[in-house]
Chains A and B, each alone.
Chain A
Amino acid sequence: MEEWKKHKQPMRRQDPHVRARNFDEVALGYTEEEAVQEAERCLACKKSPCVEACPVEIDILGFIELVQQRDFLGAARKIKEKNALPAICGRVCPQEDQCEELCVLGKKFEPVSIGRLERFVADWEAANTETLAPERPAPTGKRVAVVGSGPAGLTVAADLANLGHSVTIFEAFHKAGGVLVYGIPEFRLPKAIVQREVEFVKSLGVELRLNYLVGRTITVDELLAQGYQAVFIAVGAGLPYFMNIPGENYNGVYSANEFLTRSNLMKAYRFPEYDTPIKRGKRVAVVGGGNVAMDSARTALRLGAEHVYNVYRRSRQEMPAREEEIENAIEEGIDIRFLTNPTRILGDGKGWVLAIECIKMRLGEPDQSGRRRPVPIEGSEHTIDVDVVIMAIGNGANPLLPSTTPGLETNKWGNIVADEDTGKTSMEGVYAGGDIVTGAATVISAMGAARRSARAIHDYLMTSRK
């Protein structure tokens, strides 16, 4: 095999020193030539294991062949048959654990960079054409309410609209996109791209109602009573966890949710041009090892921090963040302290954070998750001076909607109990999918659940008497 076919076509990125101080997108995408060359690496396997590993079943071989033929628009349409949000997925999907993991080329060499090609194709379409909505099917006369406009909500809405149903999305925030707008930062997922894909979903005939908090402004039962024959709940995992250690309520301690929402959704990084403030710490500690922790650390850096620590209780091997994001963070100068766990936060006597006390950990026996359990090393306590602490240790289910929906079964963690294949809940006509069912996971797994649920909702609507 020729040498160039063994390796992924690299994607240009902003220089680490430059990008660490701006909010522009880090990765710059492929040129047409780079994309075609990358597409040429595909072995065109008959069985296409990559497709089996795609939660939304994109015809990967089909779109890659169109890229090879330089039919970029055709490739975009091919993807959109299965995925309404390709510019987003091309950027934030963990392809290394999905399509690219099973790529046959990847067994001996590097897999085809399917994610970067998906991103290229979606961006090419946006830059070169007016996005055309597919023809609308004949209306079925059925109405569906979707609660939440994140990845799962948008996917289910697009799928059901394409089947002729009348879909209304209810969003609590003043902007659509869910975690795509409040959580994932501009430098990883530009908000203009989210906006573009939301507009695409609207162009399918989906109605969007902002500032509607289902559970308060209107309840699920009221939606059903108002003539929605089915409801899909996709409210995400929005309840931030704290460590319950002393000092967590000092000024300067944030949940990652709050820190990122201020910066991303409210544009606090442009304060005072925008009204919402954010503490720009000089020395910042981010606790946790997932993508949200990486996003928080890199945001703190871009807000002007001199030193950003990332404190994680396990080792790099167990870190749940994407490898690419960990590398990006390290390149930008994030100081990751592995096998380190906070024990308390120290204050300055006036209620502000002064330092974070941590203890060194070692890895013990594997726990339920299969990862080796971190065990504290006695006497290894030490303090790190910081003025801002960001807790990025995960999110649970927000109890607001379940608590106002009698008859909706939840498990002991507060997640809605829903059938894995259909999203069916304990209430007739009510389905759920995404993080509110599984606990915090990925954008694409939420979209996969939404895709499966859309089919089930369609079957239900077409057979139910209501």
Chain B
Amino acid sequence: MFVVETPRIARKSKPGQFLVVRVDERGERIPLTIADSDAEKGIITLVIQEVGKSTIRMGVLREGDTLLDLVGPLGKPSHIDYFGKVVLVGGGIGIAPIYPVVKAMKYAGNSVVSIIGARTKELLFWEDKVKEFSDELLVTTDDGSCGHKGFVTDAVREVVSREPQVDLVVAIGPVIMMKAVAEVTRGPAIQTIVSLNPIMVDATGMCGGCRVTVGDRTKFACVDGPEFDGHLVDFDELMRRRKMYVDEEKTALQKCRLNHVATQHTFRAEHKG
């Protein structure tokens, strides 16, 4: 988890938006969802999962270190409004970006049911933060080490079947999870918004690398999204496209000989400018 000092981004950041980070001179541009922001303090919070060379390199940064480049906020903000009863779902690393949506939906007067889940207890975080702005919080873990044993999808199914009326579902997390949530809500035709995370380069609408099929149209997730109607997204295509550089990622990881133990740590990284 990173707390980054970047007043110019913190000032403008809204729920649902992301930014692009470049860690060092030879680094990639990687998109990361903004998990929290504080305009007054000029800080934003990022939560990363160390899965590739760039995120592992971010993981070895220490308090006071500087990120080379940071641009944002990017993408369209979430549509925050009064809907009535909303179900907000964060899976795994998606717990972080669902948090600002939870907060904003609560402030907008909605009745908020939050569902967060992870593989196991150690990977869960922010239960308290999410709970603070939720009328009800359901927690799931795949192995049952915390909360209900099962997937967030199971909890969504339960809520949808017991509530007489659900007006909106927002799901953020792994592609497979968002696809599953969208399947649950398709039958009862509950509007379902998902936040997509395809491969991006510039993230400003210039490269088209992040194109996704929504309905029968191709959209650029970076500028048309990242949020789309979950019932219209071609998730299978998205999963395929995210694997475009699997071989290259292995090569990069082999080159990256960092004797690094993945840990969760909080620190401040400053960003110049």
Are A and B a genuine interacting pair, yes or no? yes
Using CB atoms and an 8 Å cutoff, list the residues of chain A in contact with chain B: 172-174, 182, 209-213, 216-218, 238-240, 242, 244, 248-249, 251-252, 254-255, 257-258, 261-262, 266-267, 271-277, 279, 350-351, 398-400
Q: Which of chain B's residues has its CB closest to A248's CB?
A: B218
B27 touches A (CB below 8 Å)? yes
Provide the bound-state CA to CA distance between A306 and B68, in Å: 37
The answer to whether residues A398 and B206 also contact, given A212-B71, A266-B29 and a CB cut-off of 8 A, is: yes
B240 touches A (CB below 8 Å)? yes
Specify which of A174, A217, A240 is in contact with B12 (CB 8 Å cutoff): A217
Specify which of A255, A274, A400 is in contact with B26 (CB 8 Å cutoff): A274
Q: Nearest-CB distance from A198 to chain B (Å)?
A: 17
Provide the bound-state CA to CA distance between A182 and B209, in Å: 15
Residues of B within 8 A of A257 (CB): 206-208
30 A-B residue pairs with Cβ-Cβ distance under 8 Å, sorted by A, are: A172-B204, A174-B22, A174-B68, A174-B71, A211-B70, A211-B273, A212-B8, A213-B204, A217-B9, A217-B71, A238-B204, A238-B205, A238-B206, A242-B211, A242-B218, A249-B211, A249-B213, A249-B237, A251-B241, A252-B244, A258-B208, A258-B209, A261-B207, A266-B201, A267-B26, A275-B53, A275-B54, A277-B249, A398-B204, A398-B223
Provide the bound-state CA to CA distance between A255 and B245, in Å: 16
Closest 4 A-B residue pairs measured CB to CB? A277-B248, A258-B207, A351-B240, A211-B71
Residues of A within 8 A of B207 (CB): 240, 255, 257-258, 261
Provide the bound-state CA to CA distance between A176 and B249, in Å: 28
Contact yes or no, B244 A251, CB < 8 A: yes
Contact yes or no, A240 B248, CB < 8 A: no
C-beta contact mask, B189-221 vs A, less than 8 Å → 1, else 0?
000000000000110111111010100001000
Specify which of A209, A239, A244, A272 is in contact with B206 (CB 8 Å cutoff): A239
- The binding surface of chain B is classed by DSSP as mixed
Q: Which of chain A's residues has its CB closest to B22's CB?
A: A174
Contact yes or no, B72 A210, CB < 8 A: no
- The binding surface of chain A is classed by DSSP as loop
Contact yes or no, A272 B71, CB < 8 A: no
Provide the bound-state CA to CA distance between A255 and B74, in Å: 21
The answer to whether residues A213 and B74 also contact, given A242-B218, A255-B208 and a CB cut-off of 8 A, is: yes
The answer to whether residues A240 and B206 also contact, given A211-B70, A211-B273, A277-B252 and a CB cut-off of 8 A, is: yes
18 more A-B contacts (CB under 8 A) besides A211-B70, A211-B273? A173-B202, A182-B206, A212-B71, A213-B72, A217-B72, A248-B218, A251-B244, A254-B208, A266-B29, A266-B201, A272-B251, A272-B252, A275-B28, A275-B252, A279-B244, A398-B205, A398-B206, A399-B205
Q: Which of chain A's residues has its CB closest to B24's CB?
A: A275
Contact yes or no, A249 B26, CB < 8 A: no
Residues of A within 8 A of B27 (CB): 275
Provide the bound-state CA to CA distance between A350 and B244, in Å: 11
Residues of A within 8 A of B218 (CB): 242, 244, 248-249
Provide the bound-state CA to CA distance between A182 and B206, in Å: 10
Q: Nearest-CB distance from B26 to chain A (Å)?
A: 5
Q: Which of chain A's residues has its CB closest to B244's CB?
A: A251
B257 touches A (CB below 8 Å)? no
Provide the bound-state CA to CA distance between A255 and B210, in Å: 11
Provide the bound-state CA to CA distance between A174 and B71, in Å: 8
Provide the bound-state CA to CA distance between A162 and B233, in Å: 52
Residues of B within 8 A of A261 (CB): 201-202, 206-207
Specify which of B12, B69, B73, B213 is in contact with A210 (CB 8 Å cutoff): B69
Q: Which of chain A's residues has its CB closest to B213's CB?
A: A249
Provide the bound-state CA to CA distance between A275 and B58, in Å: 13
Residues of B within 8 A of A238 (CB): 204-206
B162 touches A (CB below 8 Å)? no
> A239, A276, A350, A400: which has the most chain B beta carbons within 10 Å?
A276
